[in-house]
């Protein structure tokens, strides 16, 4: 089980993390817990909490994740990985909407997020391959 993340209102970016990498104050945040299970050569994904991210978010994540190091599928025959994805939606002037993403309670590009980024990229690629 993934440890509970502090609520988005209680979190502050760690030192040195630009504000635009973090879900902004006043944003509506949707929390999704994704689980990847490896059984032999097959990976299975499950949304354990929240709603499955929309295709627009998966496309954006897939594009953003290519700018960062991502973890490979674990080499062990059986494994279980959980990732907390937070999707922040912010209303902007002129009726526009901005989105930002966080994983496991931190910025998408955090050095500690290599494994989580791998899970998200594999999940997005599998789901979008079916769309």
pTM score, whole prediction: 0.78
Bigger pLDDT: 21 vs 62 = 62
C-alpha separations of 14 from 10, 17, 60, 73 in Å = 13, 6, 24, 28
What digits encode the pLDDT tens for the residues 112-131? 899 999 999 999 999 998 64
Identify the domain containing residue 125 by its residue range. Answer: 20-130
- Position 9 scores a pLDDT of 56
- Position 19 scores a pLDDT of 54
Q: How many domains does the chain have?
A: 1
d(CA 31, CA 88): 9
34 within domain boundaries: yes
Contacts of 100 (CB under 8 A, 6+ apart): 20, 21, 22, 23, 24, 27, 87, 88, 90
103 within domain boundaries: yes
- Evaluate whether 50 touches 31 at the Cβ level (below 8 Å): yes
Mean pLDDT of 94-105: 87
6 within domain boundaries: no
């Amino acid at each position: 089980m993934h440890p509970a993340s502090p609520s988005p209102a209680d979190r502050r970016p760690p030192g040195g993390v630009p504000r635009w990498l973090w879900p902004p104050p006043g944003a509506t945040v949707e929390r999704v817990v994704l689980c990847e299970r490896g059984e032999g050569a097959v990976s299975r994904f499950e949304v354990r909490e929240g709603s499955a991210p929309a295709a627009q978010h998966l496309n954006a994540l897939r594009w953003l994740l290519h700018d960062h190091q991502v973890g490979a599928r674990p080499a062990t025959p059986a494994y279980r990985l959980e990732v907390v994805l937070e999707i922040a939606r912010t209303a902007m002037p002129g009726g526009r909407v901005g989105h930002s993403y966080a994983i496991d309670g931190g910025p998408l590009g955090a050095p500690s997020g290599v494994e989580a980024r791998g899970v998200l990229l594999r999940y997005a690629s599998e789901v979008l391959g079916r769309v």
